[in-house]
Amino acid sequence: MKNWFTHLILLIGAVIMIFPFAWMFLSAFKTERDAFSYPPRWIPSKWTFRNFSKVLEMVPFGRYYLNSLIVTSTITFGQVFVAILAAYALARLDFPGKTLVMILLVSTMIMPFEVILIPTFLIVHKFGWLDTYQGLIVPFLYSGFSIFFLRQFFLTIPKDLEDAAKIDGCGYFRILFNVIIPNSKAAIGTISLFVFLTHWRSYLWPLVITNSTEMRTLPIGLKYFVEEGATQYHLMMAAALMAIVPVLVVYVLAERHLVRSTTLTGLKF
């Protein structure tokens, strides 16, 4: 009975989580009449693919898509690379001021982005990076959470592996790339997934930093389907359905690492 009750709770939670996605998927194929029908209609009376082509005609959706892919992929690669180097130094190396660096690192995690929005904007403006890829990408190549997450995982890797590599003549970078990273694929895959999801749906910073249509990202592009008179829900759902495709692909690729990161202790099997 305990197992049945647990599965019932999980089933209810799954239904609640799936409901918005199911509604989005079905609404993407509805006509405008079905989208605004009352009472709400679950299944479209007439399935149409016109919504997707209309989205591409109304706004430069392909450009938004490309911008989001470039910005999010670059941020993910750059932030994870920086986090690996910083986490390795904080987890395995001894240097003066290490404790102070950790305190500063943790302090950056407790500040919401809204607190540093204006200073970051002024710095980017000073560099002349408004409405550029540099302005969208560079401020997010550092993340205190990514560094802290990987540092905690690196600490679980047995010291004996590193000592054995030193005996074989490995330097710091060779130990990092031949010992630490191969034993941390699960953690690296997990943090990559978190970073990608976070910046794929980022709205505030791209809204502030971009002025031209050519530099807008997908979350900003979806806003174009909201009008003063009435929101075009069927078109917005079609655009949202196309927007989540990369997220689903990344999640499918990284899901195995997400599960493994919660069970591994740093040993490579």
| Domain residue ranges of the chain, discontinuous segments joined by + | 1-48, 55-260
Asked whether the beta carbons of 139 and 126 are under 8 A apart, the reply is no
Contacting residues for 180 by C-beta, under 8 A, at least 6 apart: 88, 92, 154, 157, 162
Asked whether the beta carbons of 42 and 27 are under 8 A apart, the reply is no
| Backbone φ, ψ for residue 203 (5° rounding) | -120, -45
Instruction: State residue 237's pLDDT score.
Output: 87
Instruction: State residue 265's pLDDT score.
Output: 42
What's the predicted TM-score (pTM) here? 0.83
Q: Six-digit token pair at 178?
A: 């031949």
Contacting residues for 60 by C-beta, under 8 A, at least 6 apart: 213, 214, 221
What does the pLDDT profile of the chain (269 residues) look like in tens digits?
778 888 999 999 999 999 988 888 888 888 888 777 778 778 888 888 888 888 888 888 889 989 999 999 999 999 999 999 999 999 988 888 888 988 888 888 888 888 889 999 999 999 999 999 999 999 999 998 999 999 988 988 888 888 888 888 888 889 888 888 888 888 888 898 889 989 998 999 999 999 888 899 988 888 877 764 456 778 888 888 888 888 888 877 777 666 665 555 444 43
| Backbone φ, ψ for residue 127 (5° rounding) | -80, -10
Query: CATH topology for 55-260?
Result: MetI-like fold (1.10.3720)
Helix, strand counts (H, E) of the chain: 15, 0
Instruction: State residue 261's pLDDT score.
Output: 57
Burial class of 237 by CB neighbour count within 10 A (0 to 12, 13 to 18, 19+): buried
Instruction: State residue 264's pLDDT score.
Output: 53
Instruction: State residue 268's pLDDT score.
Output: 42
